[in-house]
Structure 1
């Protein structure tokens, strides 16, 4: 069964396809392809949510110490009967917490529809607790489906350290019409097609051997929010307002001492 609740640190890099090829060659002895997809390669298609005030966008753009996103995700080709991943991705002081559930895509659509059943126990899901959290988050922010972001991914894990995970994302596309995930990964490119978004995901710190390879290849560590970049392309460049650090699902209003509180 897919992991539904986990915590990790992430570092993002924006690299060229040539750097990607050289990096994969050098890390080959220490890394293996992800068991999912074909040789660790598969397509990711995600439906992101926001509200009329663009609250989620501005929280991310302003790099608040505590921020979160809601997304509904499928892998490779999907139908309404396919399994979808509904998840809240939270970031607090550079640590990423992800809480997600699995449910049939058509069931997720039923939950999002105007005729949604108010009794959450009537939905088919692998984690009712996470559904409660998603429901609270969505209603608190008045979130609605906003855009679809898709890309091709190559994922790798450490041979001796399975907690070390690298993902390489190519051909990043977005669209604001046709928000049906089963219609596939198409849209407008929002990052140069020669660039690759690399994410290094670890429990504690990046291994020294990997840090040295990244440095030798001159890989540039750079924040690359797919959600923000897509929003700016589809909605026009937005000017971030001054945002007071607050919590959403729960915690202290003082951002220096926030506690994540789950319903």
Structure 2
């Protein structure tokens, strides 16, 4: 049976210039440690229709939206393991289902081939979503370097730091080197908080002291606006 995972959480995002990132790292010392994912190079193929219906819905900020993607942690091809993911967001809560599959099997499924021969709710949800759109295909390659941390006190709080976020509309292949258009200025970091309860007060205090504010930032949505619409993202700290 294919490996499967389910996530339910609140995700909060912050775009940080180097000086504010330094303040966060200082506050994290002794409180956060690299988790089981640690340091990774994440590569994604975002699947969409030729009319970009999923990307367009994402930037409209509806109550409900969903994304379908194939994700790998480093280069992947052939029998290498990748994750086929369905990510939903409803009323601020993120629900993610994913299955670990051989790369060729995942890509064949997205292209209209057969779903895995197994019975599970996750497989059924993925199969229903892929079938409902009918013409999903890899439309965007999006990659970044990630540091993944977990709280040392066991409260389930997680924090990720993404840098070198790049995207492109060609070369829909997870095996080659990551390349494309940079979404954030050099030195900027996208910090994501993965919350099941509340943000720890030590981090609330650090962000308040450094003037760090929550921001709506979808990697896929902003890449779509930059590469398809011609409207690159400008951080608040660089706005005129």
Q: TM-score, normalised by structure 2?
A: 0.88
Match of 1:132 in 2: 124
State whether structure 2 residue 193 is matched by structure 1 residue 200. Answer: yes
Cα distance in 2 for residues equivalent to 1:190 and 1:132:
34
Please give the alpha-carbon distance, in whole angstroms, between the structure 2 residues aligned to 1:18 and 1:154. 18
Q: Following the alignment from structure 1 to structure 2, what is the Cα–Cα distance between the partners of residues 76 and 162?
A: 29
The answer for unaligned runs of 5 or more in structure 2 is 232-240
CA offsets per residue over residues 27-55 of structure 1, 9 Å max, x none? 1111111233xxx2111100101113322
Cα contact 1:80–1:182 (8 A) shared by 2: no
Runs of 4+ in 1 over 4 A off after TM superposition: none
Give the aligned partner of residue 93 of structure 2: 95
* TM-score, normalization by structure 1: 0.81
Question: Secondary structure of the residue that 2:79 maps to in structure 1?
Answer: coil
Please tell me the root mean square deviation across aligned C-alpha atoms, in Å.
2.0
Deviations 1:54-84 (A, max 9, x none): 2212221111111111111000233322110
Instruction: Look up the match of 2:158.
Output: 165
Q: 1:121 to 1:52 in 2, by over 3 A?
A: closer
Match of 2:19 in 1: 18
Of Structure 1 and Structure 2, which has the larger fraction of its residues in strand? 2
Is the Cα–Cα contact under 8 Å of residues 27 and 202 in structure 2 kept in the other structure? no
Partner of 2:229: 236
Are 1:33 and 2:28 matched, yes or no? Answer: no
- The answer to whether structure 1 residue 75 and structure 2 residue 73 are counterparts is yes
Deviations 1:160-182 (A, max 9, x none): 13510000100110011110111
Whole-Å separation in 1 of the counterparts to 2:3 and 2:24: 28
Residue by residue over 1:196-220, the C-alpha shift from the partner in whole angstroms, topping out at 9 and shown as x without a partner, is 1110111022122211111112223
Pair 1:211-2:212 in alignment: no
The CA distance in 1 between the partners of 2:190 and 2:161, in whole Å, is 6
